[in-house]
Amino acid sequence: MVKYEELVALAIKAKENAYAPYSNFRVGAALLTEEGKVFTGCNVENASYGGTVCAERTALFKAISEGYKKFKAIAITSDSDNLTFPCGICRQVLSEFGLEFDVIVSNKKGEYKVYKLKELLPYAFSSSDIEGGI
């Protein structure tokens, strides 16, 4: 089983591929499936800003496109001395696949803390909130 220190190290490595010419804020993520497979991602910015994709969603979309939908943890890092948390959109997109998995927020030194996604997104909007459900 992949240890959280290893997941953070993979996120740090993924950050190296970030394309961030506008913000200069590189982010990396490593997503662990319940089956033990890891998908990494980095942020990819775009001049239109709206076309930018965060590292967390890059990793998630790679996993989904390969048929994985159950997750144990995601590690997130950046070049910051501070812990890097997922943005609101990423929290909402991740919540589509459960609120019980671990979110490992880390800094450039590999120091980290672990939260449940539900701690970072209380009162999450879900498919059950849509009239008639999905």
Residues of each annotated binding site = 43-49, 54, 87, 90
CA dist 5 and 66 (Å) reads 24
Report which DSSP code applies to 115. E
The catalytic position among 56, 96, 100, 111 is 56
SS3 (DSSP) at 58: helix
Give the three-class secondary structure for 74. strand
Residues making up the annotated binding site for substrate are 43-49
**Residues in the annotated binding site for Zn(2+):** 54, 87, 90
131 is catalytic: no
The phi and psi torsions of 43 (rounded to 5 degrees) equal -75, 145
Active site residues: 56
